[in-house]
């Protein structure tokens, strides 16, 4: 069982840890702040989904801790490599798990809870959840992946829509914002297949990859949030307005409606 006081202790550690990453350069600091805010919003999102799934207080705490630590590796990653691109640096989930271990952060928890948290963090940024993950670990891994995606859509749609926004290489994973896109990526998204990061060469490819995440969502609440916030429409609005992209948009919106309707009715 995770107590309220254990959860508070972990929250305090998190805030103290983040405070150790301070940059004089405002661009660097902005990226650190962005991740800090992202983590807190993922925590809000995971709790919203957890409550809609009628989880008990222990389970909601577990989910909240996973969210709190899922991107803890981002701070060290950025301070060492000045990028959020795992390809150009190292896997931030593994880096985070290593940090948690080095600081013995999760040692106050029971082994089973610790292991669920570690598995969910390890799975959160994988193309697909590891095939060996089953049962409760799979349930929480899905929960964290849904919440993470929901908040990434918030960040990127705000960014893409802001005409005043300075180019943020960290958000664009250093990809160029040109008019091209890879039609193979579009075909893969159409088939509901997940995209490999290494196949992207432009920002439009990244937008398509982010659209394709909708097929990875597991919980009805997550699908409802995407629909309510118009994340799909907003991502398509910043892609070339032409076929086959417009066709894909229609298919994705139909998919969302049918999944939501199906879950609610069945």
Task: Point out which residues bind Fe ion (CB under 5 A).
Answer: 71, 125
CB of 158 or CB of 254, closer to Fe ion: 158
- Measured from the Cβ of residue 81, the count of other Cβ atoms closer than 10 Å reads 15
The least CB distance from residue 66 to Fe ion, in Å, is 11
> Which residue is associated with the tokens 């508070």?
8
Residue nearest to Fe ion (CB): 71
Q: Which is nearer to Fe ion, 125 or 222 (CB)?
A: 125
Distance CA 50, CA 67 (A): 12
Whichever of 42 and 226 has its CB closer to Fe ion, that residue is 42
Instruction: Give the CA angle between residues 4, 5, 10 to the nearest 5°.
Output: 100
| Shortest separation between residue 122's beta carbon and Fe ion, angstroms | 11
d(CA 144, CA 124): 6
125 or 133, CB closer to Fe ion? 125
Distance of closest approach, residue 167 Cβ to Fe ion, in angstroms: 21
Least distance from C-beta 91 to Fe ion, angstroms?
A: 10
Q: Phi, psi (5° rounding) for residue 227?
A: -70, -45
> With the C-alpha atoms ordered 23, 24, 27, 33, is the resulting torsion angle positive or negative?
positive
């Amino acid at each position: 069982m995770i107590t309220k006081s254990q959860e508070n202790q972990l929250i305090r550690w998190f805030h103290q840890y983040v405070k150790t990453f301070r940059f004089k350069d405002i661009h660097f600091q902005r990226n650190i702040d962005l991740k800090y805010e992202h983590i807190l919003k993922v925590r809000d999102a995971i709790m919203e989904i957890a409550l809609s799934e009628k989880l008990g207080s222990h389970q909601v705490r577990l989910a909240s801790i996973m969210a709190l630590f899922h991107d803890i590796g981002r701070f060290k990653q950025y301070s060492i490599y000045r990028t959020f691109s795992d390809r150009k640096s190292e896997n931030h989930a593994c880096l985070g798990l290593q940090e948690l271990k080095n600081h013995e952060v999760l040692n106050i928890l029971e082994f089973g809870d610790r292991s669920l948290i570690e598995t969910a963090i390890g799975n959160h940024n994988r193309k697909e959840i590891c095939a060996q993950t089953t049962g409760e670990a799979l349930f929480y891994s899905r929960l964290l992946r849904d919440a993470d995606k929901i908040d990434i859509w918030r960040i990127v749609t705000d960014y893409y829509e802001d005409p005043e926004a300075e180019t943020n290489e960290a958000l664009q994973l250093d990809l160029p914002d040109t008019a091209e896109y890879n039609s193979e990526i579009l075909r893969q998204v159409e088939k509901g297949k997940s995209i490999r990061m290494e196949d992207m060469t432009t920002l439009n490819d990244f937008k398509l990859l982010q659209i394709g995440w909708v097929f990875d969502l597991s919980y009805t609440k997550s699908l409802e949030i995407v629909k309510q916030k118009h994340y799909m429409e907003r991502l398509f609005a910043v892609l070339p307005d032409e076929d086959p992209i417009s066709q894909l948009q229609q298919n994705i919106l139909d998919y969302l409606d049918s999944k939501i309707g199906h879950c609610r009715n069945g």
